[in-house]
Structure 1
């Protein structure tokens, strides 16, 4: 059994309307049937456009948002079924590094107070001296000096604040860390430092990561397995190198074509897939394949009527597309006139 398994997880937010009495008139299908597994010691990268449900899925694992249905099995225990107090205790082994390093830290607490708070809540350390020793050890691991303990979040740079966020997760000795856009708010040079730090900590402490990002380069650099989300669903999953070498889903192919190549000759001559239309609303998703309204390879049958299942096509590669094989071998080609005018996916290529 995998360390973390998600089975058909759904997170639907009710849309309410009314003056005196709220009534539910619909739902926002933020996450709509995601199944995946993360092995111990592995880094699973989750990528997709803004609004596709990546962050909501990460928060659902920690039960920071309510799970509508489905199971989240961590080390043999279904977190979705745990009562409040048991879930609170389970969170010690499941921690999160948030996207905004400043917004996730209490500006009224110094760093020692921030790092001690979780340890005290979970009963880690026999006394204040032992907890302080543990904190100093973790600060050294993330590259911060001991004198940082008496300082406040606003006194640090963005990269240092993100290191504090990582330290806050590490002091609880977790097994899994969910990294929600861990470097998107940082400068490019600092991004590389934080990513290298995460990899070093994984090797030395045996950590397992679920990395949520829209930056394709970040995901490729750090991930063993990558899942691609579109409008609340997982449309493709494969080992990192295989996904970048042979993207099978039309949406993944469009994402990959947006990544620039440093060779100008290759860049000028390579295929560019531009998507038509806008991202549909998660409150009113299309019938059939969620991507068919923007897909350059859409067909008259199945695409608009039947939602494709995520099926294995070999070598651990899973694709949710009715015609993935035909698109790969060239039997089905892109429709004429689908290239422009168009909109590109909201993912960062660098």
Structure 2
């Protein structure tokens, strides 16, 4: 049974206009009908380019933004329908690690105060000494010394601040942690440390993660299931290894073609899909398939008129594309409609150029 399930979640922000009286003249369709499920103790990775709505979706799960429509079912309860006070109690079990480790911490509070604040709000610990001891234990688990309690956020490095953000979530003993770009602001060496820390905590504490990121390598490393978002909707979902070896949606194939391969022979010989054009505005999304304006496999029918639903291709692989099977079998060839297929340049070997 899924611990967290989203059914047709929509988040639409009204666009208002007027001087004396505001009137709604349109909407920004930030999230437009996302359905997914997360199993307990597993990691669900959300990827997509900037502006696709993945961060808004993460905030919608926690009700940090208003949900326009749909269900967010957590442990059998629809969070979208809960009153504010009841939702506040559920937030102890649903925590978030924010993208900017410095911006998410109050610079005027020391670390003990930051971590104690949530514990007091949710009634954790009988007194200050008991809470302080629990905080020391959590800081040790995330690799920070006990003397960090009296220090302030600006006194720590980026990696340490992100560990503080993780500790702030852990002190509330959550079931689900939503990690919004948890390592994007960190150096590569520190990224590996934080990712390994998240994995160790998941194994020892039975945590469930929703990891939001644009770094495909990070998502593959930590995720059990990966969902690819484009313009407010899921276009593909599959187990991590399957998605990276057999991407079926044209947008996913374009993303994967941009991921460097450590084998120089494979890297030099593989084809790249370079998308042209800008990401359409979420305030005025295209009709039909939202990717058809940039898709090199676009067809004259269905693509620009009918919006595809996520279809199960077997093995937990779901794709929102009318022609996924035909593209995979090579029955439909790419065109120069909205992308360029660029083969890697052929390199001459010394033996070929010798006199």
Q: After superposition, what is the alpha-carbon deviation per residue over 1:241-286, rounded to whole angstroms, capped at 9, x for unaligned?
A: 0000100000000000001112222212101111121100000000
Shift of 1:129: 1.1
Stretch moving more, 265-274 or 58-67? 265-274
> Which whole-Å CA distance do the structure 2 matches of 1:285 and 1:339 have between them?
19
Which residue number corresponds to residue 281 of structure 1? 281
- The count of residues paired between Structure 1 and Structure 2 equals 342
Q: After superposition, what is the alpha-carbon deviation per residue over 1:144-197, rounded to whole angstroms, capped at 9, x for unaligned?
A: 000000000000000000000000000000000000000000000000000000
Which residue number corresponds to residue 139 of structure 1? 139
Which residue number corresponds to residue 352 of structure 2? none
Q: Secondary structure at the match of 1:149?
A: helix
1:233 aligns with 2:206: no
> Which whole-Å CA distance do the structure 2 matches of 1:311 and 1:336 have between them?
27
Q: Are the equivalent residues in 2 in contact too, given 1:276–1:341 (CA < 8 A)?
A: no
> Which whole-Å CA distance do the structure 2 matches of 1:16 and 1:338 have between them?
33
Which residue number corresponds to residue 219 of structure 1? 219
Structure 2 unaligned spans of 5+: 343-355
> Which whole-Å CA distance do the structure 1 matches of 2:289 and 2:68 have between them?
22
1:19 aligns with 2:19: yes
Stretch moving more, 241-250 or 329-338? 329-338
Q: After superposition, what is the alpha-carbon deviation per residue over 1:200-250, rounded to whole angstroms, capped at 9, x for unaligned?
A: 000000000000000000000000000000000000000000000100000
Q: Are the equivalent residues in 1 in contact too, given 2:295–2:339 (CA < 8 A)?
A: no
Q: Secondary structure at the match of 1:33?
A: strand
Q: Secondary structure at the match of 2:290?
A: coil
Q: Secondary structure at the match of 1:265?
A: helix
Which stretches of structure 1, 4 residues or more, deviate above 6 A after TM superposition?
none
1:323 aligns with 2:323: yes
Stretch moving more, 256-265 or 163-172? 256-265
Q: Are the equivalent residues in 1 in contact too, given 2:296–2:340 (CA < 8 A)?
A: no
CA radius of gyration, larger in: 2
Q: Secondary structure at the match of 2:125?
A: coil
Stretch moving more, 211-220 or 260-269? 260-269
Shift of 1:339: 4.4
TM-score (norm 2): 0.95
Structure 1 unaligned spans of 5+: 343-350
Q: Secondary structure at the match of 2:166?
A: helix
1:183 aligns with 2:183: yes
Q: After superposition, what is the alpha-carbon deviation per residue over 1:17-37, rounded to whole angstroms, capped at 9, x for unaligned?
A: 011111000000000000000
> Which whole-Å CA distance do the structure 2 matches of 1:101 and 1:267 have between them?
34
Q: Are the equivalent residues in 1 in contact too, given 2:298–2:337 (CA < 8 A)?
A: no
CA spacing shift, 1:85–1:51, aligned 2, 3 Å: same
Shift of 1:340: 3.8
Which residue number corresponds to residue 63 of structure 1? 63
1:248 aligns with 2:255: no
Which residue number corresponds to residue 348 of structure 2? none
Which residue number corresponds to residue 204 of structure 1? 204
Which residue number corresponds to residue 348 of structure 1? none
> Which whole-Å CA distance do the structure 2 matches of 1:241 and 1:264 have between them?
21
> Which whole-Å CA distance do the structure 2 matches of 1:95 and 1:219 have between them?
19
Which residue number corresponds to residue 72 of structure 1? 72
Which residue number corresponds to residue 47 of structure 2? 47
Counterpart mapping for 1:27-38 below 5 A: 27-38=27-38
Q: After superposition, what is the alpha-carbon deviation per residue over 1:65-117, rounded to whole angstroms, capped at 9, x for unaligned?
A: 00000000000000000001100000000000000000000000000000000
> Which whole-Å CA distance do the structure 1 matches of 2:151 and 2:287 have between them?
53
Q: Secondary structure at the match of 2:328?
A: helix
> Which whole-Å CA distance do the structure 2 matches of 1:289 and 1:14 have between them?
23
Counterpart mapping for 1:91-102 below 5 A: 91-102=91-102
